[in-house]
Structure formats: C-alpha cells, structure tokens
Amino acid sequence: GPVAPPQPATDVDLAHPRSEWETEAQLAAAAEAEGGNLMVYSSMSTDDLEADLSAFQTAYPSVHPEYYRASGDTVIQKALTESQANRQIADVYESQAFEIHRLMQTGLLDPFVAPESDAYPDGAKDANGFWTVDRITLVVIGYNSDLVDPEELPGSWEDLPDARWSGQSGIE
C-alpha cells in the first residue's frame, strides 16, 4: 500500500533515536531480506562513488548497490518529489551539508550512528546521528587577475553582496 508521508524532523525523539539495528551485520541482513538492493542518491563524483560502492560490494557481497548521481540540488529535488508522491526509493543520501540539512528539515532522514563516527570530531558529525561527513569539498574564490587587482578582492563571503561585485560573480 502507499507509504505515509514523512513526519517533520521535529517529531523525532532525539533523546532516543530510532534504530532497528544493533550492528552493521543486522543492517546488512535487513537489506538482504528486502531484496539485497541498496539505492544511493549522491552528488559525489562518479569515479569516487563507483569506487566507494565497489568497496561496499566487496564488504557486503549479498547487498547490491545502485546509484543515482546528479548535482546536490537535483538529488534533493528528486528525493523531495518522490516523498510528495509517497515514494521512498533511496536508502542512502550522500550530498553536501546544505542539501542534507534540507532533508533533515523534511523528516526524510532517520538517525544512524556508525561505530566509525567515534573517530570523527564533533564538527564533522551531527550530534543526533543524522549525518557524518564523508568528504570535504573545498570552496574557494577565484578571480580574473586581468580585471581585478588583488587589493580589491573581497575579504570574506560576506563581502560578495557588495554593489562592486553585482553581476560579476557567481556561485555553483
């Protein structure tokens, strides 16, 4: 039958996050019982994603990973559209912090704390188990040195809305 739409993340009991599995082996067994497929929605580069899923397949041969890869915004829009249609296709969402936060706000994520997250500093994981950093994307400001003197460069992200840069900057 139809799946009930997700509840907002505010309905999650953060003091006692839901977890149906005590170990990774139980999680893998549950995936196998559901048909052995794992669907990952990701904005990671295809080469990196395929390498990660190949390593996963080696570690869990009874679980067969598949993926949908697109830009972070497209991945999240797909997830939200499916949710509105009462469909939950993805098992794992992998994207940048902003997109994952949007999924948290809509209630599409359940907390899961992998044992490996203990090795991560507090700023690299959600205190309630909704996410753990799996990659770091460096964001830099680039400029055309023929058009802009180094002394004129913005000193921070907050300087970019200045009228001086109107129509001359972009973020992707």
Token couple for 48: 């990196």
Residue 135, pLDDT > 60, answer yes
pTM of the prediction?
A: 0.70
Alpha carbon dihedral 126, 110, 64, 116, in 10-degree steps, equals 30
Greater confidence (28 vs 102) lies with 102
Report the pLDDT value the prediction gives residue 18, as an integer from 0 to 100: 43
In 34-158, which ranges are continuous DSSP H helix?
Answer: 46-59, 72-84, 97-106
Residue 161, pLDDT > 70, answer yes
Q: What would the pLDDT profile of 137-159 be if each residue is shown by its tens digit?
A: 777 777 888 888 888 888 887 88
